[in-house]
Amino acid sequence: MLYNQFMTLDPAKLRKFIEDQGWSGFGIVPISEVKSALGKHESIFEKWLRQGFQAKMVYLEAMKEDRYHPENKLPDVRSVIVLQAWYGSDENGNVARYARGKDYHKVLKKRLLSLSDWLKAQNPEISTYASVDSGPTVDRVLAEAAGLGFFGKNANLISPSSGSYFFIASLMTTAQLPATEKKRMPGCGDCQKCMMSCPMGAIVAPRVIDARRCIAYLTIENKEGIPEYLRPRIGNRLFACDICQEVCPFNEGRAGKQEILIDELNAKNGVGDNLDLAEILAIETDEEFQERFSGTSLMRAKRRGLLRNACVVAGNRGDKSLIPVLEQFLELETDEMLKEHAKWAIKAINQNTAI
């Protein structure tokens, strides 16, 4: 009886609440369609795991059962609300666009919980489960099922009208909500710009990413040293990478053009577009790192990861003025992995400036 009664909810009121929260768009999809989409992707994911493309992200395999069976997280789930939030920036920088503002996990989760409270205010018997790219929910698959985009060859979800610079969040609910209309989606066609442009060759096949070679993995999830032969290909990318999105025709001219409706996601309210390498290399303690980057996505790399990345970028930049900074870093640092990266950076700078 609960679900039939809730079908009378005015869709216009739900849409207004979502728009007032600052979401750029949303879709509602019944759980039957979600399960169909998840079933298709589960075998793809299992093959990806067998090939070792997850690198050392062992948690992905541990979450596999819940990823593809949403009822494990929310019994009696009936519908899923999937939401978009734009984040693009037209500035080139050494921090990936998505990480320049406040940590989107926290910013968007807060809004999801408010949306959940609003739904429960309509009927207190409703239950929900919120996900923002950090739990066992495959938000990209849910977004595809909800009609918000299609999977590009770079494995990103692409909106044909707006590109791919958007976050995805989802709210599963036991309420049976009316589904939103879905448009017919295009595809990438013969385009291989993302595959050809990746400096690591990490896109090994359409929609298949080998994390072991992906700059985003190497600079964030990877907790060890970056293989020496891959360091020059990191270039100026201190934290993650946008290349496979920057070259995508669906994103052409769109970076910075989509309005960011949730102000915390603006770069000016986070770490900004570029970080100063000398300032990063001067961070001596975890406490200093936390004070500087608390509330941002850069916390994921921790001090050790970010300083490792800074050494690599410094070596690639070839700026001789950074040598004294690196030498001071070597005197104070005790971590052998970081010291090795700093020594490599000094050697790389000297070689670059000698040419």
CATH classification at residue 308: 1.25.10
Residue 208 lies in a domain: no
Q: Where among 123, 142, 173 does a domain terminate?
A: 173
Question: Does residue 229 fall inside a structural domain?
Answer: no
Q: How many domains does the chain have?
A: 2
User: pLDDT tens digits for 71-88?
Assistant: 999 999 999 999 999 998
pLDDT of residue 1: 38
Same domain, 169 and 280: no
Residue 355: pLDDT band (50, 70, 90) is very low
**CB-based contacts of 204: which residues, under 8 Å, 6+ apart?**
53, 210
Greater model confidence, 353 or 273? 273
- Domain shared by 9 and 146, yes or no: yes
Examine the residue annotation and report whether 276 is marked as an active-site residue of this protein: no
- In this predicted structure, what is the pLDDT of residue 4? 45
Residues 167 and 316 in one domain: no
Mean pLDDT taken over the chain? 93
Out of 117, 138, 173, a domain closes at 173
> How far apart are the C-alpha atoms of 142 and 331, rounded to whole Å?
50
> Do residue 19 and residue 168 come from a single domain?
yes
Whether 48 maps to a domain, the answer reads: yes
**Final residue in a domain of this structure, among 153, 173, 193:** 173
Q: Answer yes or no: do 28 and 169 share one domain.
A: yes
For residue range 264-322, list pLDDT tens digits in order: 999 999 999 999 999 999 999 999 999 999 999 999 999 999 999 999 999 999 999 99
Same domain, 24 and 148: yes
Structure-block tokens of residue 4 = 């039939």
Classify residue 157: in a domain, yes or no.
yes
* Host domain of residue 137: 2-173
Question: Is pLDDT above 70 for 5?
Answer: no
Question: What pLDDT sits at residue 63?
Answer: 87
pTM to 2 decimal places: 0.93
Among residues 66, 133, 273, 319, which one is catalytic?
Answer: 133
Residue 204 within any structural domain of the chain: no
Is the same domain home to 166 and 303? no
In the chain, the N- to C-terminal Cα span, in Å, equals 77
For the chain, what percent of residues have pLDDT higher than 90? 86
Q: What is the pLDDT of residue 255?
A: 67
pLDDT (tens digit per residue) in 161-204: 999 999 999 999 999 999 999 999 999 999 999 999 999 999 99
Q: What are φ and ψ of residue 353, in 5° steps?
A: -80, -15
Q: Is residue 224 part of a domain?
A: no
Virtual CA dihedral for 41, 43, 48, 50, nearest 10 degrees? Answer: 160
Within this chain, do residues 20 and 143 fall inside the same structural domain, yes or no?
A: yes
Residue 332 lies in a domain: yes
Whether residue 269 lies inside any domain: the answer is: no
The reply to whether 160 and 295 lie within a common domain is no
